[in-house]
Protein backbone atom coordinates (compact mmCIF):
# COMPACT_ATOMS: atom_id res chain seq x y z
CA UNK A 1 0.00 0.00 0.00
CA UNK A 2 1.27 3.45 -0.92
CA UNK A 3 -0.16 4.77 2.36
CA UNK A 4 1.87 2.38 4.48
CA UNK A 5 5.06 2.91 2.50
CA UNK A 6 4.68 6.67 2.97
CA UNK A 7 4.03 6.27 6.70
CA UNK A 8 7.06 4.04 7.19
CA UNK A 9 9.29 6.53 5.36
CA UNK A 10 7.98 9.36 7.53
CA UNK A 11 8.33 7.35 10.72
CA UNK A 12 11.95 6.48 9.98
CA UNK A 13 12.63 10.19 9.46
CA UNK A 14 10.62 11.23 12.54
CA UNK A 15 8.19 13.17 10.36
CA UNK A 16 4.60 13.54 11.47
CA UNK A 17 1.95 12.14 9.09
CA UNK A 18 -0.99 14.17 7.93
CA UNK A 19 -4.30 13.90 9.72
CA UNK A 20 -5.75 12.27 6.61
CA UNK A 21 -3.07 9.59 6.72
CA UNK A 22 -3.73 8.93 10.41
CA UNK A 23 -7.47 8.61 9.71
CA UNK A 24 -6.72 6.27 6.82
CA UNK A 25 -4.86 3.90 9.16
CA UNK A 26 -7.95 3.62 11.36
CA UNK A 27 -10.09 3.00 8.25
CA UNK A 28 -8.04 0.08 6.92
CA UNK A 29 -9.79 -3.27 6.57
CA UNK A 30 -9.18 -6.46 8.53
CA UNK A 31 -7.67 -7.93 5.36
CA UNK A 32 -5.00 -5.21 5.54
CA UNK A 33 -4.38 -5.53 9.28
CA UNK A 34 -1.17 -7.57 9.16
CA UNK A 35 0.27 -5.17 6.58
CA UNK A 36 -0.52 -2.27 8.94
CA UNK A 37 1.12 -4.05 11.89
CA UNK A 38 4.19 -4.93 9.81
CA UNK A 39 4.59 -1.35 8.60
CA UNK A 40 4.27 0.21 12.05
CA UNK A 41 6.55 -2.53 13.37
CA UNK A 42 9.35 -1.29 11.11
CA UNK A 43 9.10 2.13 12.74
CA UNK A 44 9.02 0.61 16.23
CA UNK A 45 12.15 -1.46 15.56
CA UNK A 46 14.00 1.51 14.08
CA UNK A 47 13.81 3.43 17.37
CA UNK A 48 13.43 0.71 20.01
CA UNK A 49 14.68 -2.53 18.51
CA UNK A 50 12.97 -5.54 20.12
CA UNK A 51 13.09 -4.18 23.67
CA UNK A 52 10.00 -4.05 25.90
CA UNK A 53 10.01 -1.78 28.93
CA UNK A 54 8.07 -3.06 31.95
CA UNK A 55 6.20 -0.67 34.24
CA UNK A 56 4.52 -1.48 37.54
CA UNK A 57 1.57 0.34 39.14
CA UNK A 58 1.24 1.01 42.86
CA UNK A 59 -2.13 2.49 43.81
CA UNK A 60 -1.25 4.68 46.80
CA UNK A 61 -4.86 5.71 47.53
CA UNK A 62 -7.83 3.93 46.02
CA UNK A 63 -11.35 5.21 45.41
CA UNK A 64 -13.28 8.13 46.93
CA UNK A 65 -12.31 10.60 44.20
CA UNK A 66 -14.29 13.88 43.96
CA UNK A 67 -13.92 14.08 40.16
CA UNK A 68 -16.65 12.72 37.86
CA UNK A 69 -14.60 11.17 35.01
CA UNK A 70 -17.13 8.80 33.42
CA UNK A 71 -14.63 6.06 32.60
CA UNK A 72 -13.19 5.73 36.11
CA UNK A 73 -14.17 3.15 38.73
CA UNK A 74 -12.86 5.53 41.43
CA UNK A 75 -15.05 8.47 40.33
CA UNK A 76 -17.53 10.44 42.37
CA UNK A 77 -20.70 8.35 42.56
CA UNK A 78 -19.09 5.13 41.29
CA UNK A 79 -20.92 1.99 42.33
CA UNK A 80 -18.07 -0.27 41.20
CA UNK A 81 -17.11 -2.59 44.05
CA UNK A 82 -13.43 -1.70 44.03
CA UNK A 83 -10.94 -1.60 46.88
CA UNK A 84 -11.16 1.65 48.83
CA UNK A 85 -8.36 2.76 51.16
CA UNK A 86 -6.48 5.87 52.15
CA UNK A 87 -2.77 6.57 51.67
CA UNK A 88 -0.33 3.68 51.91
CA UNK A 89 2.59 4.34 54.22
CA UNK A 90 5.96 4.81 52.47
CA UNK A 91 7.22 1.41 53.61
CA UNK A 92 4.02 -0.29 52.38
CA UNK A 93 4.33 1.38 49.00
CA UNK A 94 8.02 0.52 48.79
CA UNK A 95 7.27 -3.12 49.54
CA UNK A 96 4.63 -3.19 46.80
CA UNK A 97 7.03 -1.53 44.35
CA UNK A 98 9.75 -4.07 45.16
CA UNK A 99 7.49 -6.88 43.94
CA UNK A 100 7.21 -5.22 40.56
CA UNK A 101 10.93 -4.54 40.33
CA UNK A 102 11.64 -8.18 41.20
CA UNK A 103 9.37 -9.15 38.31
CA UNK A 104 11.44 -7.08 35.88
CA UNK A 105 9.82 -3.65 36.06
CA UNK A 106 12.11 -0.77 35.18
CA UNK A 107 9.64 1.95 36.18
CA UNK A 108 7.33 2.15 39.20
CA UNK A 109 4.24 4.33 38.76
CA UNK A 110 2.85 5.81 41.99
CA UNK A 111 -0.81 6.71 41.53
CA UNK A 112 -3.32 8.33 43.87
CA UNK A 113 -6.98 9.09 43.26
CA UNK A 114 -8.20 12.66 43.68
CA UNK A 115 -8.36 15.98 41.88
CA UNK A 116 -4.79 16.77 42.84
CA UNK A 117 -2.38 16.53 45.78
CA UNK A 118 -2.19 18.83 48.77
CA UNK A 119 1.25 19.98 49.86
CA UNK A 120 1.04 17.37 52.63
CA UNK A 121 0.34 14.71 50.00
CA UNK A 122 3.39 15.82 47.99
CA UNK A 123 5.53 15.48 51.13
CA UNK A 124 4.13 12.00 51.72
CA UNK A 125 4.81 10.93 48.14
CA UNK A 126 8.30 12.42 48.34
CA UNK A 127 9.04 10.14 51.30
CA UNK A 128 7.71 7.19 49.31
CA UNK A 129 9.92 8.03 46.33
CA UNK A 130 12.98 8.16 48.59
CA UNK A 131 12.09 4.82 50.19
CA UNK A 132 11.66 3.13 46.80
CA UNK A 133 14.89 4.51 45.36
CA UNK A 134 16.89 3.58 48.44
CA UNK A 135 15.84 -0.05 48.11
CA UNK A 136 15.79 -0.43 44.32
CA UNK A 137 18.89 0.79 42.53
CA UNK A 138 18.33 2.14 39.04
CA UNK A 139 14.53 2.07 39.16
CA UNK A 140 12.58 4.96 37.61
CA UNK A 141 9.71 6.49 39.57
CA UNK A 142 6.73 8.15 37.90
CA UNK A 143 4.13 10.02 39.95
CA UNK A 144 0.48 10.31 38.92
CA UNK A 145 -1.37 12.43 41.47
CA UNK A 146 -3.81 14.48 39.42
CA UNK A 147 -3.75 18.21 38.71
CA UNK A 148 -0.67 19.96 40.09
CA UNK A 149 -0.58 23.32 41.86
CA UNK A 150 2.24 25.83 41.56
CA UNK A 151 5.56 24.54 42.86
CA UNK A 152 4.45 20.93 43.35
CA UNK A 153 6.14 19.63 40.20
CA UNK A 154 9.43 21.11 41.32
CA UNK A 155 9.09 19.51 44.76
CA UNK A 156 8.42 16.09 43.23
CA UNK A 157 11.40 16.45 40.93
CA UNK A 158 13.63 17.42 43.85
CA UNK A 159 12.39 14.36 45.73
CA UNK A 160 13.60 12.14 42.90
CA UNK A 161 10.57 11.68 40.65
CA UNK A 162 11.80 10.91 37.16
CA UNK A 163 8.45 11.36 35.42
CA UNK A 164 4.91 12.60 35.87
CA UNK A 165 1.84 11.04 34.27
CA UNK A 166 -1.33 12.91 33.42
CA UNK A 167 -3.34 11.65 30.45
CA UNK A 168 -5.32 13.82 28.04
CA UNK A 169 -7.66 10.83 27.55
CA UNK A 170 -9.79 12.13 24.69
CA UNK A 171 -10.11 15.03 22.27
CA UNK A 172 -10.61 18.57 23.53
CA UNK A 173 -13.89 18.81 21.62
CA UNK A 174 -15.43 15.85 23.45
CA UNK A 175 -13.74 16.18 26.83
CA UNK A 176 -16.81 17.73 28.41
CA UNK A 177 -18.78 14.60 27.52
CA UNK A 178 -16.69 12.45 29.88
CA UNK A 179 -15.86 14.91 32.67
CA UNK A 180 -17.37 18.13 34.04
CA UNK A 181 -15.26 18.75 37.17
CA UNK A 182 -12.18 19.87 35.23
CA UNK A 183 -11.41 20.47 31.58
CA UNK A 184 -8.92 19.56 28.87
CA UNK A 185 -6.80 22.67 29.42
CA UNK A 186 -6.28 21.73 33.09
CA UNK A 187 -4.68 18.47 31.96
CA UNK A 188 -2.49 20.17 29.38
CA UNK A 189 -1.32 22.66 32.01
CA UNK A 190 -0.28 19.89 34.43
CA UNK A 191 1.74 18.09 31.71
CA UNK A 192 3.50 21.34 30.89
CA UNK A 193 4.25 21.99 34.57
CA UNK A 194 5.90 18.58 34.83
CA UNK A 195 8.01 19.27 31.75
CA UNK A 196 9.03 22.71 33.02
CA UNK A 197 10.18 21.14 36.30
CA UNK A 198 12.48 18.77 34.42
CA UNK A 199 10.42 15.61 34.75
CA UNK A 200 9.81 13.30 31.82
CA UNK A 201 6.21 13.80 30.73
CA UNK A 202 3.92 10.79 30.37
CA UNK A 203 0.54 11.47 28.80
CA UNK A 204 -1.81 9.31 26.77
CA UNK A 205 -5.37 8.42 25.92
CA UNK A 206 -8.28 6.08 26.51
CA UNK A 207 -9.90 4.46 23.47
CA UNK A 208 -13.30 2.82 23.40
CA UNK A 209 -15.43 5.49 25.09
CA UNK A 210 -17.67 5.97 22.06
CA UNK A 211 -15.34 8.43 20.34
CA UNK A 212 -15.04 8.80 16.56
CA UNK A 213 -11.94 8.19 14.48
CA UNK A 214 -11.54 11.96 14.24
CA UNK A 215 -11.56 12.23 18.05
CA UNK A 216 -8.78 9.64 18.31
CA UNK A 217 -6.67 11.47 15.75
CA UNK A 218 -7.34 14.78 17.51
CA UNK A 219 -6.08 13.57 20.89
CA UNK A 220 -3.02 11.86 19.41
CA UNK A 221 -2.06 15.01 17.50
CA UNK A 222 -2.61 17.04 20.68
CA UNK A 223 -0.22 14.66 22.42
CA UNK A 224 2.27 15.00 19.59
CA UNK A 225 2.16 18.77 20.06
CA UNK A 226 2.79 18.39 23.82
CA UNK A 227 5.67 16.01 23.02
CA UNK A 228 5.63 13.70 26.07
CA UNK A 229 8.35 11.07 26.29
CA UNK A 230 5.82 8.28 26.85
CA UNK A 231 2.28 7.81 25.55
CA UNK A 232 0.15 5.19 27.34
CA UNK A 233 -2.70 3.84 25.23
CA UNK A 234 -5.52 2.59 27.45
CA UNK A 235 -8.55 0.66 26.23
CA UNK A 236 -11.67 1.36 28.27
CA UNK A 237 -12.41 -1.20 30.96
CA UNK A 238 -16.22 -0.89 31.23
CA UNK A 239 -16.67 -1.30 34.96
CA UNK A 240 -20.16 -2.11 36.18
CA UNK A 241 -21.29 0.82 38.29
CA UNK A 242 -19.83 3.53 36.03
CA UNK A 243 -21.58 5.58 33.30
CA UNK A 244 -19.58 3.82 30.55
CA UNK A 245 -20.33 0.29 31.71
CA UNK A 246 -22.15 -0.50 28.46
CA UNK A 247 -19.48 0.93 26.11
CA UNK A 248 -18.11 -2.23 24.47
CA UNK A 249 -16.94 -0.67 21.20
CA UNK A 250 -13.58 -2.35 20.63
CA UNK A 251 -12.38 -5.41 18.76
CA UNK A 252 -8.81 -6.74 18.84
CA UNK A 253 -8.40 -5.57 15.25
CA UNK A 254 -9.47 -2.02 16.05
CA UNK A 255 -7.13 -1.91 19.04
CA UNK A 256 -4.22 -2.86 16.80
CA UNK A 257 -5.13 -0.19 14.26
CA UNK A 258 -5.27 2.42 17.03
CA UNK A 259 -1.84 1.39 18.32
CA UNK A 260 -0.41 1.51 14.80
CA UNK A 261 -1.81 4.99 14.26
CA UNK A 262 -0.24 6.19 17.52
CA UNK A 263 3.10 4.69 16.52
CA UNK A 264 3.04 6.45 13.13
CA UNK A 265 2.18 9.82 14.72
CA UNK A 266 4.66 9.36 17.60
CA UNK A 267 7.39 7.24 15.97
CA UNK A 268 10.24 7.75 18.44
CA UNK A 269 8.18 7.99 21.64
CA UNK A 270 7.70 5.27 24.25
CA UNK A 271 4.26 3.96 23.31
CA UNK A 272 2.88 1.95 26.22
CA UNK A 273 0.19 -0.70 26.00
CA UNK A 274 -1.77 0.08 29.14
CA UNK A 275 -5.07 -0.75 30.81
CA UNK A 276 -7.60 -2.98 29.07
CA UNK A 277 -5.23 -4.95 26.84
CA UNK A 278 -6.29 -8.29 28.31
CA UNK A 279 -9.98 -7.40 27.96
CA UNK A 280 -9.92 -6.18 24.36
CA UNK A 281 -6.82 -7.62 22.65
CA UNK A 282 -7.07 -10.99 24.37
CA UNK A 283 -5.13 -13.63 22.40
CA UNK A 284 -3.84 -10.98 19.99
CA UNK A 285 -1.74 -9.22 22.64
CA UNK A 286 1.56 -10.53 21.22
CA UNK A 287 0.88 -8.76 17.91
CA UNK A 288 0.68 -5.47 19.81
CA UNK A 289 4.32 -5.87 20.87
CA UNK A 290 5.26 -5.13 17.27
CA UNK A 291 3.67 -1.68 17.75
CA UNK A 292 4.42 -0.71 21.36
CA UNK A 293 7.69 -0.82 23.27
CA UNK A 294 6.30 -0.67 26.80
CA UNK A 295 3.63 -2.45 28.86
CA UNK A 296 2.38 -2.64 32.43
CA UNK A 297 3.35 -5.76 34.35
CA UNK A 298 0.61 -7.49 36.35
CA UNK A 299 -2.38 -5.66 37.79
CA UNK A 300 -3.74 -2.16 37.22
CA UNK A 301 -5.17 0.36 39.67
CA UNK A 302 -8.52 -1.25 40.41
CA UNK A 303 -8.62 -4.21 38.01
CA UNK A 304 -6.56 -7.37 37.67
CA UNK A 305 -4.25 -7.97 34.75
CA UNK A 306 -2.95 -11.30 33.55
CA UNK A 307 -0.33 -12.99 35.70
CA UNK A 308 3.07 -11.31 35.62
CA UNK A 309 4.74 -14.59 34.63
CA UNK A 310 2.41 -14.78 31.63
CA UNK A 311 3.44 -11.25 30.58
CA UNK A 312 7.09 -12.31 30.66
CA UNK A 313 6.36 -15.52 28.75
CA UNK A 314 4.42 -13.58 26.12
CA UNK A 315 7.33 -11.21 25.56
CA UNK A 316 9.82 -14.07 25.21
CA UNK A 317 7.56 -16.19 23.00
CA UNK A 318 6.99 -13.25 20.63
CA UNK A 319 10.74 -12.85 20.20
CA UNK A 320 11.16 -9.69 22.27
CA UNK A 321 13.33 -8.99 25.31
CA UNK A 322 12.74 -7.16 28.58
CA UNK A 323 14.59 -3.83 28.73
CA UNK A 324 17.09 -3.63 31.59
CA UNK A 325 17.78 -0.71 33.92
CA UNK A 326 21.17 -0.24 32.25
CA UNK A 327 19.56 0.56 28.88
CA UNK A 328 18.23 3.98 27.90
CA UNK A 329 14.62 3.67 26.78
CA UNK A 330 14.38 6.66 24.47
CA UNK A 331 16.50 7.21 21.37
CA UNK A 332 19.50 9.42 22.05
CA UNK A 333 18.15 12.34 20.05
CA UNK A 334 15.18 12.64 22.43
CA UNK A 335 17.39 12.85 25.51
CA UNK A 336 20.23 14.92 24.06
CA UNK A 337 18.41 17.28 21.73
CA UNK A 338 18.78 15.78 18.29
CA UNK A 339 19.16 17.63 14.97
CA UNK A 340 16.44 19.09 12.77
CA UNK A 341 14.29 20.06 15.75
CA UNK A 342 13.08 23.23 14.03
CA UNK A 343 12.13 21.41 10.84
CA UNK A 344 10.32 18.75 12.84
CA UNK A 345 8.39 21.38 14.77
CA UNK A 346 7.33 23.06 11.51
CA UNK A 347 6.17 19.73 10.09
CA UNK A 348 4.17 19.03 13.24
CA UNK A 349 2.56 22.47 13.14
CA UNK A 350 1.60 22.02 9.49
CA UNK A 351 0.06 18.62 10.18
CA UNK A 352 -1.85 19.80 13.25
CA UNK A 353 -3.34 22.69 11.28
CA UNK A 354 -4.68 20.33 8.62
CA UNK A 355 -8.38 19.63 8.30
CA UNK A 356 -9.58 16.13 9.16
CA UNK A 357 -12.51 14.52 7.45
CA UNK A 358 -15.41 13.69 9.69
CA UNK A 359 -15.40 10.07 10.75
CA UNK A 360 -18.22 8.19 12.43
CA UNK A 361 -18.18 6.30 15.71
CA UNK A 362 -17.28 2.65 15.04
CA UNK A 363 -19.87 -0.08 15.40
CA UNK A 364 -19.87 -1.91 18.76
CA UNK A 365 -18.05 -5.19 19.06
CA UNK A 366 -20.35 -8.13 18.34
CA UNK A 367 -19.57 -9.90 21.60
CA UNK A 368 -18.37 -8.26 24.80
CA UNK A 369 -16.22 -10.16 27.29
CA UNK A 370 -17.46 -8.92 30.64
CA UNK A 371 -15.95 -12.00 32.26
CA UNK A 372 -12.50 -10.51 31.66
CA UNK A 373 -13.16 -7.46 33.86
CA UNK A 374 -11.95 -8.54 37.29
CA UNK A 375 -11.77 -6.10 40.19
CA UNK A 376 -8.38 -6.11 41.89
CA UNK A 377 -8.49 -7.88 45.28
CA UNK A 378 -4.76 -8.39 45.89
CA UNK A 379 -1.59 -6.36 46.30
CA UNK A 380 -1.55 -2.77 47.58
CA UNK A 381 -4.26 -2.14 50.17
CA UNK A 382 -4.78 -5.84 50.95
CA UNK A 383 -3.03 -8.59 52.89
CA UNK A 384 -2.55 -10.71 49.76
CA UNK A 385 0.63 -10.81 47.67
CA UNK A 386 0.67 -8.69 44.50
CA UNK A 387 0.63 -9.92 40.93
CA UNK A 388 4.08 -9.18 39.53
In angstroms, the CA 198 to CA 14 distance is 23
Query: Is 69 among the catalytic positions?
Result: yes
Instruction: Return phi, psi of residue 73, to 5°.
Output: -75, -10
Residue pair 100/69 in contact (Cβ under 8 Å)? The answer is no
> Given pLDDT bands bounded at 50, 70 and 90, which one contains residue 280?
very high
Contact of 303 with 317, CB cutoff 8 Å? no
User: So what's the pLDDT on residue 360?
Assistant: 53
pLDDT for 113 beyond 60: yes
Q: Which residues are annotated as a binding site for [2Fe-2S] cluster?
A: 109, 142, 202, 272
Collapsing DSSP to helix, strand or coil, 270 comes out as strand
The answer, yes or no, to whether residue 361 has pLDDT greater than 80, is no
Alpha-carbon distances of 77 from 73, 116, 242, 262, rounded to whole Å? 9, 18, 8, 32
Binding residues: 65, 69, 72, 109, 142, 202, 272
Reply yes or no on whether the pLDDT at 369 is more than 80.
no
Distance of alpha carbon 223 from alpha carbon 16, whole angstroms: 12
Give the separation between CA 208 and CA 89, rounded to whole angstroms: 35
Please say if 187 is a catalytic residue: no
| Prediction pTM value | 0.88
Choosing from 144, 179, 202, 266, the catalytic residue is 202
Domains, the chain, in order of start with CATH, read 37-325 (3.20.20.70)
- What is the rounded end-to-end Cα distance, in angstroms, of the chain? 41
Please confirm, yes or no, whether 336 is among the known catalytic residues. Answer: no
Confidence of residue 377 (pLDDT cuts 50, 70, 90): confident
Q: Tell me what the pLDDT averaged over the chain comes to.
A: 92
pLDDT tens-digit readout, 169-226: 999 999 999 999 999 999 999 999 999 999 999 999 999 999 999 999 999 999 999 9
- The 10s digit of each residue's pLDDT in 301-344 is 999 999 999 999 999 999 999 999 999 999 999 986 443 444 44
Q: How far apart are CA 330 and CA 51, in angstroms?
A: 11
pLDDT at 383: 86
Provide the sign of the torsion angle of the four alpha carbons 372, 63, 106, 131, taken in this order.
Answer: negative
State yes or no: is 202 an active-site residue.
yes
Catalytic residue among 14, 75, 124, 142: 142
Residue 266 falls in the annotated catalytic set: no
| Active-site residue, from 75, 272, 277, 334 | 272
DSSP one-letter code for 333: H
- 109 counts as catalytic: yes
CA distances for 387 relative to 296, 355, 376, angstroms: 11, 45, 10
Amino acid sequence: MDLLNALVDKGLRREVPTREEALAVLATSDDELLDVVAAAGKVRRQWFGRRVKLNYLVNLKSGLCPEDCSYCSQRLGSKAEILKYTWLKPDEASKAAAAGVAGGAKRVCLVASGRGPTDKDVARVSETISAIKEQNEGVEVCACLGLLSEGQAERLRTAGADAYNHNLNTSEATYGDICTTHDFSDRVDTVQQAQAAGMSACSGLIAGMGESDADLVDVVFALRELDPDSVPVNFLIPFEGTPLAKEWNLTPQRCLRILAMVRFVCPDVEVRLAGGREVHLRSMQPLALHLVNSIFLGDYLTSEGQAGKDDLAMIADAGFEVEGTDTMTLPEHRTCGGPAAEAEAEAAEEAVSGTAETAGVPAPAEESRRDLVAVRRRGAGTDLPPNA
